[in-house]
Amino acid sequence: MHRILFFTLSNIGDAVLTTPALEALQQCFPEAAIDLVADPRSAQLFAHCPYRGRIFHKKKKAGWQGLLSLVYQLRRVPYDLVVDLRTDGLAYLLRAQKRLTKRGIKPAGPHAVERHMAIVASLRSPAAPIPPCRVWLQAKQVQFAKAQLSPLPGHRWLALGPGANWLPKIWPASAFTALVNTVKNHFDGVVLVGGLQDRERSQAISAHLPLPYVDLCGNTDLLQVAAVLQQASIFVGNDSGLGHLAAAMNIPTLTLFGPGQPERYHPWGNRNAYVLAPNRQLAQLPATTVAQRLLQLLEKTP
């Protein structure tokens, strides 16, 4: 196969969870050019993927006119294979010799990665391991991260993601501060990451921290924050895309769940864990519980 089209998902975390299937596809067809359909919010994650072809943007708010325009662009290419991880049926409107979609698949487990891998399972050996999640960086992002973190002493840095896209998914700022106070002897500094909308919350946390800190909320793009997380010793955060980025950078990751489906959407990998709040209410989750789980995760990972 020479031309492949791969549909990713929209949200940042969801897009990261599609990368094992994308990697598996490339392993099956190493000479193929793989075009991507991605949401503008998460498309940057694939900017430096070494085997991708073109990136087409699927914009949720573009309406039917935007969808028709996308279909017109995609139908100009006769693909050998279309792999669609979405559910909107676009694969059946395109020119393709073979299509792989969610129809009729049987996942090997409950996690989203396992569901995505089931779509490409017919192309692979059943014994083949699932590839890890990936985010592809360049030297400029790594250099950015090192420059931003240079004010911190030592190298044992705790990264915190205090935000999320929905208030019930957010652990209180005071709880994050209490967590740092509980584990302060295990770290040299704290890194706060997130978007502009998280800055007020991060400032409330940093105002009472017992360790040196760098607050990068609102000051990074997706690849820059991934590079920052790569430098940290561990990440603790709410159920958001940041946890998936941290896991893709192969650092220990502890995710705090209130509402949601952790068995399906927790960060993928063997260096990751999650805590489920009592009654699924994050306000009821004690900092001591999170601290205990954090230290257990640190102890079991090299």
Sorted by where each starts, the structural domains of the chain and their CATH numbers stand as 3-123 (3.40.50.2000), 139-300 (3.40.50.2000)
Predicted confidence band of residue 61 (pLDDT cuts 50, 70, 90)? confident
pTM of the entire predicted model: 0.96
Q: How far apart are CA 81 and CA 104, in angstroms?
A: 18
The answer to whether 23 and 131 are in contact (CB under 8 A) is: yes
Q: How far apart are CA 132 and CA 22, in angstroms?
A: 10
pLDDT of 254 reads: 98
pLDDT of 64 reads: 73
Mean pLDDT of the chain: 95
CA 265: distance to chain centroid?
10
Predicted confidence band of residue 302 (pLDDT cuts 50, 70, 90)? low
Long-range Cβ contact pairs of 87-93 (< 8 A, separation 24 or more): 90/7, 90/37, 91/7
The owner of tokens 């940041």 is 242
pLDDT of 296 reads: 96
Structure tokens at 52: 């991708």
The answer to whether 16 and 266 are in contact (CB under 8 A) is: no
Q: Which residues contact 261 (CB under 8 A, 6 or more apart)?
A: none
Predicted confidence band of residue 1 (pLDDT cuts 50, 70, 90)? low
Q: How far apart are CA 247 and CA 258, in angstroms?
A: 20
Q: How far apart are CA 249 and CA 272, in angstroms?
A: 11
Q: How far apart are CA 39 and CA 111, in angstroms?
A: 22
pLDDT of 119 reads: 96
Amino acid making up residue 280: R
For 134-177, how does the pLDDT look when each residue is reduced to its tens digit (9 = 90+)? 999 999 999 999 999 999 999 999 999 999 999 999 999 999 99
The answer to whether 260 and 190 are in contact (CB under 8 A) is: no
Predicted confidence band of residue 84 (pLDDT cuts 50, 70, 90)? very high
Of the candidates 5, 12, 18, 86, the one whose C-alpha atom is nearest the C-alpha of residue 44 is 12
Q: Which residues contact 147 (CB under 8 A, 6 or more apart)?
A: none
- 3-state SS, the chain, equals CCEEEEECCCCHHHHHCCHHHHHHHHHHCCCCEEEEEECCCCHHHHCCCCCEEEEEECCHHHHHHHHHHHHHHHCCCCEEEEEECCCCCHHHHCCEEEEECCCCCCCCCCCHHHHHHHHCHHHCCCCCCCCCCCCCCCHHHHHHHHHHHCCCCCCCEEEEECCCCCHHHCCCHHHHHHHHHHHHHHCCEEEECCCHHHHHHHHHHHCCCCCCEEECCCCCCHHHHHHHHHCCCEEEEECCHHHHHHHHCCCCEEEEECCCCHHHHCCCCCCEEEEECHHHCHHHCCHHHHHHHHHHHHHHCC
pLDDT at 274 over 80: yes
